[in-house]
Amino acid sequence: AQTVTQSQPEMSVQEAETVTLSCTYDTSESDYYLFWYKQPPSRQMILVIRQEAYKQQNATENRFSVNFQKAAKSFSLKISDSQLGDAAMYFCAYRSTGTASKLTFGTGTRLQVTL
């Protein structure tokens, strides 16, 4: 079974600085999807970024980028120029291409953004 591990329960970053959130996963599959979801205090889980495992190029979405290391099974999220609105819980998630529908989530990292 796949597992997703987020080893940082809480992180803090100053406004305008850069922060990296860690995620590792365990799988025996070669093709899959990885995600970072953001859950602000409003509780709505919002997709931040998505990576297909067969793509070597790291995904980027504006200030958000990932460092995908397939051999190491690592999928970290980098947030550049942090803003107060980035404060939220961040969840890493895995989805197999072979199994319909099942997303496996990590336990989350709470990100605080300070002035």
Partner 1 sequence: ETGVTQTPRHLVMGMTNKKSLKCEQHLGHNAMYWYKQSAKKPLELMFVYSLEERVENNSVPSRFSPECPNSSHLFLHLHTLQPEDSALYLCASSPDTTWETQYFGPGTRLLVL
Contact positions toward partner 1, by CB under 8 A? 4, 33, 35, 37, 42-47, 50, 91, 95, 97, 100-108
In whole angstroms, how close is the CB of 115 to partner 1 at the nearest point? 27
Q: How many CB atoms lie within 10 A of CB 40?
A: 13
In whole angstroms, how close is the CB of 16 to partner 1 at the nearest point? 26
Nearest CB to partner 1, comparing residues 86 and 106: 106
In whole angstroms, how close is the CB of 12 to partner 1 at the nearest point? 19
Kindly write down the DSSP assignment for every residue of 65-101, as one continuous string: EEEEETTTTEEEEEE-S--GGG-EEEEEEEEESSSSS
For residue 27 the two structure tokens come to 């799988």
